[in-house]
A and B are shown apart, each in its own frame.
Chain A
């Protein structure tokens, strides 16, 4: 299952990239996607994402299946933009509803950006272990620590949170079975009833997350963890052909996205 946070073992060039350069390259591509605003721009980014999945030998279908499960969300976002985006030249206009081509384009842009960004994030967590992500983020954001920002701790928090996602997902399915076996089904017509009926599911899951966090903290401390700062970084920055190529690719993509701005 290509859930965000699920690592897919492998030895592809993406797996072997230096953590810092990998993080930097991915960040540049994230920026490229965020900047894109034209169909050509998105197509370019889409091609890049698909290519990266190929290089990493990580299957794309599972992530797409996950996206499909959220189709209601995407459809809603699209429709909200299509029907409520202020425009000078709407097709239809009534009260606050404004159906226009601007809205349609805006909606499409939002949905495409979110899809591309999530696919890229899933890929990152598929090729980089949480520790590698921490190392990459720490090194990359190190300059910010001059501003007294706790870069090391923040990086560790992000990667540990990400690594918990598949664990909690698995646990949630067993908690749901457990609750279902006692007849707990989300029910009730009013929103409040429906929310309350989710407590047998939500509460145990929260408690489980806290319990696991507690246990992980104890285990890490017992193994000598005293914070990121005192950890020797695993791999000192290595910069070879792979890294150069990766930066080249991502910067080209960014330039391409900027160049294609405004082009439909």
Chain B
């Protein structure tokens, strides 16, 4: 059972507090969005959880084990991160070699590595591109290639660091479908600045200047326009439209996503 627990964590950089006294728990599988504007501390939080930055104050527990400098490596195996700019992530100009990188680092045998690569590539639908250069794939395919490299290690926690912001509509849709297929039994954390992307998760942790401004079901957090504005987050189109309808006197339900908007409008007619 995957779990993430952060207790009283703080982080400073260059004398400035990037994160101040932060606590939250993700006790089991599910989708969580960490939503915040630039400078809210969301990237730093991700790096602390992933063990890419050293934690000086507070504690973080992954899967029940406290993260220290000694066991950071073995704990990292449970965490897979898909970063934002795919062009800086690939370690090989041959896709299957890149996908094999992770398992090779963990010392699996050649046959084990190959079977993991096969499984990852078919899960992400890239089997027929296995000898292609990942750098030359389309935007959406690149993200999938990154994901393939990450799931080859079989992490039970997946973190997407603004991974969808550079994709077009088509790419975003296919990535979301893929993530939906992968989220069984896993914790999926999406780090984002987009309310629309956050709406795809069940729970939202909203950050403002290094502190938690809200933590709850996405339906609740993302339908509070004032709260979102105070955190410099643009409310989703669906929310703005349903709010405008309510202001015009129509009793529409607050919607936070396009699907929710469809439902809200249908129930009006």
Contact = CB atoms under 8 A, between A and B. Distances in A.
Interface in A192-224: 211-212, 215-216, 218-224
Given A232-B104, A232-B108, A9 B92 contact: no
A129 B76 contact: no
Contact of A219 (B77, B83, B100, B104): B83
Interface of A: 7, 9, 129-131, 163, 167, 211-212, 215-216, 218-226, 230-232, 234
B105 A216 contact: no
A219 B105 contact: no
Contacts of A163: 91, 93
B91 A220 contact: yes
B121 interface: no
A223 B153 contact: yes
Contacts of A231: 104-105
Contacts of B97: 129, 131, 234
A173 B153 CA distance: 36
A7 B91 contact: no
Given A131-B97, A222-B81, A224-B76, A230 B105 contact: yes
Contact of A223 (B93, B102, B135): B102
A33 to B, nearest CB: 26
Contacts of B79: 222
B83 A218 contact: yes
Contacts of B87: 167, 212
B127 to A, nearest CB: 16
Contacts of A211: 88
B91 to A, nearest CB: 6
A230 B76 CA distance: 16
B106 interface: yes
Name, among A129, A212, A219, A221, the residue most crowded by chain B CB atoms within 10 Å (CB to CB): A219
A129 B101 contact: no
Residue from A129, A220, A222, A231 having most chain B Cβ neighbours under 10 A = A222
Contact of B105 (A167, A212, A218, A226): A226
15 contacts: A7-B133, A131-B97, A163-B93, A167-B87, A215-B83, A215-B89, A219-B81, A219-B88, A219-B91, A222-B76, A222-B79, A223-B150, A224-B77, A231-B105, A232-B104
A37 B77 CA distance: 55
B131 interface: yes
Contacts of B47: 218
B235 interface: no
A230 B107 contact: yes
Contact of A9 (B91, B93, B150): B93
Interface residues on B, range: 35 or more
Contacts of B149: 223
A175 to B, nearest CB: 15
Contacts of A167: 87, 135
A155 to B, nearest CB: 14
Contacts of A216: 88-89, 91
A248 to B, nearest CB: 28
B73 A224 contact: yes
A9 B133 contact: yes
A80 B47 CA distance: 54
Contact of A130 (B52, B73, B91, B100): B91
A129 B104 contact: no
B118 interface: no
Interface string B224-243: 00000000000000000000
Interface string B56-98: 0000000000000000010011011101010111011110010
B255 interface: no
Q: Which of B52, B87, B91, B94 has the most CB of A within 10 A?
A: B91
B132 interface: yes
Contacts of A223: 101-102, 105, 149-150, 153
B50 interface: yes
A9 B94 CA distance: 8
A219 B102 CA distance: 10
Contact of B102 (A9, A224, A232): A224
Contacts of B93: 7, 9, 129-130, 163
B189 to A, nearest CB: 13
Contacts of A234: 97, 100, 104, 110
A7 B135 CA distance: 11
Which one of B76, B80, B81, B88 has the greatest number of beta carbons of chain A within 10 Å? Answer: B88
Contacts of B131: 9
B268 to A, nearest CB: 46
A68 B94 CA distance: 29
Given A129-B94, A215-B88, A216-B88, 16 more contacts: A7-B94, A129-B93, A130-B92, A131-B92, A167-B87, A167-B135, A215-B85, A218-B47, A218-B83, A219-B83, A220-B101, A223-B150, A225-B105, A226-B73, A226-B105, A234-B110
